[in-house]
Structure formats: C-alpha cells, structure tokens
A and B are shown apart, each in its own frame.
Chain A
Amino acid sequence: MHKVLAPALALTLAAASAHARTDAAAQPIAPGVAPVAPSANASVIGAPIIILPTWFWPYFVTSKCQFWDGTACTSADMANPYFKQILILPSGFADSERADFWTEFDKIRNQMATAGNVWSTQYRHKILWVGYFVPGGPLNTPTANFGAAVLEHPVRGYALSLSQDQVRAKVSAIKATSLPNLNPLGVGVLFNSFQDNITANASPPGFTRTPYGIAKFNRQDLATPYITTHELAHASMNFLDEYMEPGFQEVSIRQLDVLTPLVLFDGSWGGFVSAIGNLFSVYDYNISEILANNGNVNIALSPWPQTTGTGGQWFGYEGGMFFGRGTFHVPGNNLMDSNRDKRHDDDGFAYDTTAAQQQVIDTAFNGNYAYRANDRLRTAGPNDWPIHFGSTTTVLLFDGDKNHQFHPTQYYGVQVGWYERIWDTCWWGPFPYPCYHDEWRTAQKTVWPSVRYVDLKNTAAYGLGGLVQDVLCAVGVTEVKNGDGTFRLCDQDIDQVSGAFLPTLRFFMPYQSTTVPASQWFTTYWWRFYTNNGTWNSYYTGWSSFYRSL
C-alpha cells in the first residue's frame, strides 16, 4: 500500500507547493525531518512545510547526506573540507524501488561505520554518506544506469560491469545541478541484483589519475560489511589487495618485467623519445614499478621501500596484488588481505588496518598532511655509457610517489655536477706555463611534475593478452580508453574479444624526465634529485653519472 500511496502523495505535495521538485533542487533530507519544497532559486526554503511520517520519505527522496549515525548533514557540511564524502549511486533500480535503494543505503552506512577498526569506522565522524537516487532500467538492458550489467564470465562466475565514464559524467552532472559541494572520496555503485558468486571489484583512482575511484557491488554483497568496506577502500584509499591469486603463489611480479620492451613511450614524453631509438637499453623503467610502485602505498616492491634517508616501515610479508612473490606488505591481519594462502598467522583477513594503511588513512582524513617524504626514488638513467643525445641529455627520475593519491610530488630538485678544468699560470723557476686543477661545479633546477604515460598495445602483447587482462582486472584496471569511448576489459575473456579489436592499455608512469644541457664533450656529468610533497623534502638520491661523448 505504501508503494501506491507514496507516489500519489508526492505528486499532490509537488502540485501544492507550486514548485515542482526537480533533481536540480534536490536537498538532503533525513528521517524524521520534514521534506520541504525548494524555492524557485533553490536557495530559499519556501512553504508549504508538511510533516510526514518517517516511513514515507524514502518514496520520493532523491538525495541524502548523512553522518554515520544517520543524522542529516547539510550542504555546508559537504562544503567543509573537514568531512570526506562517500557517494552511493544505484543501478537497476526503477523509480518504484526507490525505497529499496534507501534501505540498502542505510545498510551500507551502518556497516561501514561499525566494522571493527577499518578506515570508514575509524573516521566515521569525518565521513558524510551521500546517496543520490537515479531511477533507471533493469540491469543488463540498454536503459540501466551507467550501462550496468551482471555478466556471466566464462571463468570467474559473474562480473559486475558498468561504464566508469558514465558514472563520472553523472557525478559531474549532480554536482553541477543538485549538489554543488559534492566532492566524493570514493563512489560506490549498488547493483539491484542478488546474484551470488560475483567478483565484486573496484578501480583504485591512482590507475586513472582521478580524484575518486569507483566500487561496484550488488545487494547480495551487503550480507556482511566486507565487500563495501573492502571495495570502497580500493576506490577511496587507493589500496591494493594484499593477497595472491591461485596459481601465482610462487610467481613474482618482477617476472613481468620481461614484457617491459612492449610498452611504448607515447607523445607525452616529447621529442627525446624519437631521438633515441632504443629507450629500453638506455633507461631503467619496469612494468612491475608501473603496476606496484606507483602511488599505491600498501604494497611495495621491497620490504624496505624507502630508498633515501633512514628508517621507514618494514613491509615484511611477501605477496599481494595478484602475485605471491616480489610484492610486499606490512604485517597484520587486515581488510585488504585474505585468509587464503596465509604464510603467517597475522597475514590474513580482519576488519582491521595495518600500519602502512593507517598512515594513508590518516593523511586522507587530515588535510593530506604527508606522514613521510616521497622517498621511493631512483635515478633511472641514462647510464654512463657513451651515447649521443644531441645538444642536451634527458635524465629519467623514478618516483614511486609521483602519483600518490594524497601527497603526490609537488616538485623535484635536480642537481647536475661536473668537474670544471680551471686554468692558471704556474711557474717552473722563472718560466710561466699554463696549468690547471679541477673544480667541482653544481647546477640546480626545480622541475615540476608532468603527466607521463606509456601505451601497451595489446596487439604487441598478443598471446599474453590473457595474463595481462587477468593482472589488470585483479588490480582494478577494468576499463580501457579506446578513442573517444572505453573498452570494458574485464567483462569477457580476452579470447572472446575480436582479434581485430585489441585495446591499447595506457599507464600513467611513476617516472619524470628532464633535460640537462650537458654541452661539453668527453665529460662525465653527475646528477641526483630530491622531491617535495608539500609537507616534506626527501633526502637526495645518490649521485649517478652519464658520460657525454660526442
């Protein structure tokens, strides 16, 4: 009966207010609070004010903003940077299922705010849960929001699929028309489905260089807090999984580096790429670093990821991000780990947080104040073998935090040194003669980070497409740009993809290049760099050299 009454009453109210409520004027409304019709300019609350029973409001509410305990938050709260927002959007919910969506929304909020010691519970007092109802067609139909579908996968049971671009477009539209202070830390899309055996997944924002990631889950996934807290940790905290996949327990991510010659530096790198034919022989860049040392800080490629200075955390347990070897994480049962393939008692799942995760969480919720310097650095070439670069040399800086989600590198201080031959007049008895000594000279420059990426053409990786697809889907790279559109990488087996259409995978690089006007022939130049992340300067790297021949 409620479902019949609700639309009728809502229509009556809308007519009585003479200001039809639209998405453009949606206001946050909470249980027990009388919904009010917005004025024509949407900034002044006007009559009539009608008190309605609490069971009624979900039937016409479009958006909600709530604190963890269910009390309403305001537009001013959303504008306050003290708070971070988690946005929940629906897909597959018809208008008549609006109340169902809001019931699930409350469940998500309650679960995330009371799940042990996970990020969303620790900082629940700083999180605003924002819901925005968008009616749409059923899943797996063309009218479903964001093109969402539950697809049967030949290997992986079922997969949740949607267009991330459409989600981002919707978030932008909501911000432009309804919730101007919308600025989510992470977005979750709730699929109106109870299908079990689904591989829920999320895209960490670091891979796409976006302010937020997108998590996907269905109503079945709400049986426990695990899926929402875990997937939204990917999407909000940029965390990676700390477990390994079956069959890859003894395979190291470093073995993928034999595929590095397949990645192509594209136009973002400028002219030096075309000037040097074989970049791979000159510089040290690696697929393993692009995947696992690229701003995601709960996984590292070394138990001691800090490369400059002293101290730093110990990532003592091996495994994570698909691979059982070559990746490392900090000890402790936690939300991103799994009880499968445990190698230590405290290397499994818990609604808890490791020390490395804690630092990121604290940074995210405390004004992006960095807890450490961006100190995962390496000079990455050129090495000191003779090579002709023309009038300038390009040096390559590796910076594992260049694309850090919360404290990316703000600038680099690069120093280049060389021994200058200083001539003088010397005497042999009464006879003068020209003599010299070498003086150390150092030049310094500030270098601003610039977006750099590489392309992996799947045609080049033909035959490896399946492995590449598995790895990328496992880490959350689920969508690939294809011209103006996107290709959903994880929806189907790569073997089913037309051989004529193999997408190009684009990776943002943890590398930065800068030119050095090394003008003197037959001279060894030395160089090093440090980073600034807005809070800290790192220590310098060691000195590295290259030799200018001709």
Chain B
Amino acid sequence: MLRRTSILVLTIALVGAFAFWRVRPRPAPTPESADARAAADPHLNSADRLAEVERIVAERNRAAGKDEDAFRADGWTMVKTDPPDARLTSYDPSLLAEGREDELRGQLTSTTAAPQHARRIARIALEAKEPKTRFAAVDALGHIHGDEAQAALLDLLTSGKLDPGDFVRQQIAPLLRPRDLDDGVALRMAALLDDPRVTATEKHQIAFTLALVSIRDGMTLPDDTLAALSPDARASLDQAHELVTRRIALHNRRN
C-alpha cells in the first residue's frame, strides 16, 4: 500500500513538474553565461539568487530598449502590427498550393528579393497558375542583382519548360544582364546565339544587350568565345551593334 502511495505521489509530482514546465511564460533557455551561472550558484541563498537573476534581467532589458529609444529619438512612433509571415517573405512556392497565390504575387511585385531567393522565385515562374504571378516572378528575378538570379533566368529560358510563345518566357531575354563581357553570364548569353532552343527574337535581344555592354565598357567578347560562334551569330552581334549606334528616323507623321 505504502509503495503504491509512493508511486502515486511521485507520479503526481512528475506530472505537476511537467505541467509547470509547459505552462511557464514562453521562456527559452539561454546559453550558459557567467551571469546565469552566478545566479544558479548553490552557495547563494534563494533570495540572493532571485535578486541576482532580476538584476541580470533588468540589465538585459535596458539594453534591449535602446533600439526603441533610438527610433523615438529619430521621430518614429511605436505602433502595433502583425509580424511578417516568414513563408511569404521567403517566397515559398508551396504557398501556391495553399490558395495564397495573390499574397505571393503581392510580395513579388512590391519588394526586391534577395539573391538567395532566386531559385524559389524561378519555381514560382513555372508553377503559378496565373500569368500575372508568373510574370511577377520573372520580373522579380530581373530586379535581383547578382549571379544567382541571372543563372535562374538563363535556366528558365533554356529549360524547355516554357513554350516559346509563352508571354512570360518572352520577358526573360531582356532581363539578362552580364556585369561585363568577361562575365560567365555574358559567355552563356553568347552561346545562346547559336542555341536552337532560343527564338530569333530572343537572340536579337541577347545580341542587343551584348552590344550595349560592349559599347558601354569599350570591350568585346573574349576571342575564343567569338571564334566559337557561328557566322550567323557574329552577324547578329554586328547588326545589334549597328542598331545601337546608328541614327534612326523617328516618326514624323505618326498616324
């Protein structure tokens, strides 16, 4: 009997301890700092220990308040808002399947994404239902500076997953922007001039961009890259160069 009672008491104690641990006010264990170790010093009595912890807590909260103070001093006011949705701000393509395409599109069109999000955004360009979301995804890639987005655009263009007549695909080639003509992106672009997966219009656009960069920087594609191009591709580059530099006759009687 005594043994059964002991087991029951022990069980209740364990359940109680577990319940206390679960319902405490969202604490998170801190790294073992010197302050925390001092507070847990078994040589301190309980009152001293609590006072020490409260001192540490107050000190840390004073430091935490400095950000608010800085904003207030700069004329900002504190307001209540909901925090950002992490899946939305990371352009999570799985939101498409959850009926949140509109929200995802709003995030794409109204922010500038970071390079690390390029691959996810490329997936949205392929997987979204609405053309305006797919357009927004391709456009968002065009706003990201850096190799990741350029690689994603090049892959979209050559993946075979977008039909040449697809309006969204037609936006891709103008967004290809090499840093310069020695850049890997430029070399891939040059190779596309002979690539059967790329349409004549896309080749024209790629050649025009390469011509712009060439004149902007006063340089040409590397010799070996040029040598590898077909005569048609080189002619395309020459024509683009001429289009950039020649004078055009603007409309004069426009209707």
CB distance from B179 to the nearest CB of A (A): 9
Within 8 A of A (CB), among B83-119: 83-84, 88-89, 102, 106-107, 109-115
**Mask: chain B, 171-185; 1 = CB below 8 Å from A; 0 = not:** 101110110000000
Contact A544 B111 (CB under 8 A): yes
**DSSP majority for the B interface?**
helix
Contacts of A493 in B (CB 8 A): 247
- Report which of B35, B50, B102, B174 forms a contact with A310, defined as CB distance below 8 A: B102
In the complex, A435 Cα to B53 Cα: how many Å? 10
Question: Which one of A76-84, A103-111, A165-173, A256-264 contacts B?
Answer: A256-264
B248 touches A302 (CB 8 A): no
Query: Looking at the complex, which of A16-24, A52-60, A154-162, A269-277 is the stretch in contact with chain B?
Result: A154-162
Closest to A158 in B: B252
B160 at the binding interface (Cβ < 8 Å):
no
Which residues of B have CB within 8 Å of A545? 84, 89, 114
User: Smallest CB–CB gap between B211 and chain A, Å?
Assistant: 10
Cβ-based interface call for A304 (8 A): yes
CA distance A276 to B250 in the complex (A): 40
B247 touches A338 (CB 8 A): no
Does chain A have a CB within 8 A of B57?
A: yes
Cβ-closest 10 pairs across A and B = A252-B174, A435-B27, A541-B110, A543-B84, A426-B27, A443-B76, A307-B109, A349-B255, A443-B71, A542-B107
Contact B252 A247 (CB under 8 A): no
Q: Considering the chains assembled together, what is the distance between the CA atoms of A399 and B30 in angstroms? A: 43
Q: Which one of B1-9, B121-129, B202-210, B227-235 is at the interface?
A: B202-210
What CA separation (Å) do A102 and B193 show in the bound complex? 59
- Which A414-436 residues sit within 8 Å CB-CB of chain B? 415-427, 429-436
Contacts of A430 in B (CB 8 A): 46
Residue of B nearest to A335 (CB): B255
Which B-chain residue is minimally distant from A306 (CB atoms)? B109
Contact A420 B64 (CB under 8 A): yes
Give A435 to B25 CA distance when docked, in angstroms.
Answer: 10
Cα of A541 to Cα of B201 in the assembled complex, Å: 34
- CA separation between A93 and B116, bound complex, in Å? 64
Chain B residues 14 to 54 lying within 8 A of chain A, measured CB to CB, are: 17, 20, 24-30, 35-36, 39-40, 46, 49-50, 53-54
Output the nearest chain A residue to B204 by Cβ-Cβ distance.
A250
The interface size bin for chain B is 35 or more
Residues of B within 8 A of A425 (CB): 50, 53-54, 57
**How long is the Cα–Cα vector from A523 to B68 in the complex, in angstroms?**
13
Chain A residues whose CB sits within 8 angstroms of the CB of B75 once the complex forms:
445
> How distant is B144 from chain A, measured CB to nearest CB, in Å?
8
Q: Which one of A66-74, A127-135, A196-204 contacts B? A: A196-204
Point out the residues of chain A lying under 8 angstroms from B89, CB to CB.
526, 542-545
Tell me the smallest distance from the CB of A423 to a CB of chain B, in Å. Answer: 4
The verdict on B215 contacting chain A, using a C-beta distance below 8 Å, is yes
Whether the pair B112, A463 counts as a contact (CB closer than 8 A) is no
Using Cβ atoms and an 8 Å threshold, which residues of chain A touch B72?
443
Q: Return A1 CB to nearest CB of chain B, in Å.
A: 37
Q: Is the CB of B78 within 8 A of A442?
A: yes
Q: Indicate whether A284 reaches chain B with its CB closer than 8 angstroms.
A: yes
Question: Per-position contact with B for A24-46: 1 when CB-CB < 8 Å, else 0?
Answer: 00000000000000000000000
- Contact of A255 with B174 in the complex, beta carbons under 8 Å: yes
Q: Nearest chain-B residue to A538 (Cβ)? A: B110
Residues in B with CB closer than 8 Å to A434 are: 30, 35-36, 39, 53, 56-57, 60
- Which one of A2-10, A372-380, A502-510 contacts B? A372-380
Given known contacts A255-B209, A432-B39, A442-B79, A157 and B249 CB-to-CB distance under 8 angstroms:
yes
B22 to chain A, nearest CB (A): 13
CA separation between A441 and B65, bound complex, in Å?
Answer: 11
A226 to B88, CA, bound (A): 49
**Bound form: Cα–Cα A419–B64 in Å:** 10
Residues of chain B lying within 8 A (CB to CB) of residue A198? 252
* A517 interface residue per 8 A CB criterion: yes
A177 sits at the interface (CB 8 A) = no
Query: Do the beta carbons of A431 and B77 come within 8 Å of each other?
Result: no
Q: What separation, in Å, do the CA atoms of A349 and B254 have in the docked complex? A: 9
